[in-house]
Amino acid sequence: MPRYWLMKSEPSVVGIDDVLAMPNQTVDWWGVRNYQARNFMRDQMAVGDKVFFYHSSCPEPGIAGLAEVATKAYPDRTQFDPESHYFDPKSTQENPRWMNVDVRITEKTRLIGLAELRAHPELENMRILQKGNRLSITPVDPAEWKFITQKLLK
């Protein structure tokens, strides 16, 4: 049974339209530098898991599409590049600290913004709506996934 996730990306860096233009409509989810988000990718994500592709740090944040995890976790290449903003001098090829998965877009949707998500009591416990939540990757409850995909996207 697949798990469900919400993964944030800044559209000024990599937005859903950028991924749709990539080969296989797939992007490696590089640059995560939070241990909890890394652990989600490394320890819990599996190929076929479902993803809400979420635009963040933009004028209108929200769910921009549906995606799926396309690969198992593997070392994030940016941690080894001294020219990268995400370079980590403590990380080595033998002992990488940071991982990523590849994510494949399955459908671009209308944008479902935070105000719309907050308007539904069925979603009140959704992590993205919790005060102080800043994680770039969060689990989504199966009931929340079902509500959003069957009620808000139809």
The answer to whether residues 52 and 7 touch, using CB atoms and an 8 Å cutoff, is yes
Determine phi and psi for 110, rounding to 5 degrees. Answer: -65, 155
Could you count the other beta carbons within 10 Å of the beta carbon of residue 20? 12
Q: Which CATH architecture has domain 4-74+101-139?
A: Roll (3.10)
In order along the chain (154 residues), what is the average pLDDT of each group of 10 residues?
96 97 97 97 98 97 98 98 97 97 98 97 97 94 98 92
CA distances from 16 to 55, 79, 96, 97, 116 (A): 8, 24, 28, 27, 20
pTM above 0.85, yes or no: yes
pLDDT of residue 32: 97
The Cα–Cα gap between 23 and 70 comes to: 13
Query: Taking the domains of the chain in order of start, what are their residue ranges?
Result: 4-74+101-139
Distances 82 to 25, 30, 59, 90 between C-alpha atoms, Å: 28, 15, 31, 11
Cα separation, 125 vs 114, whole angstroms: 13
CB 6 within 8 A of CB 127: yes
d(CA 69, CA 43): 13
Q: 56: Cβ–Cβ under 8 A, 6 or more apart, which residues? A: 8, 9, 10, 136
Distance CA 15, CA 21 (A): 10
Structure tokens at 62: 């929200």
Distance CA 62, CA 56 (A): 7
pLDDT (0 to 100) of residue 154: 83
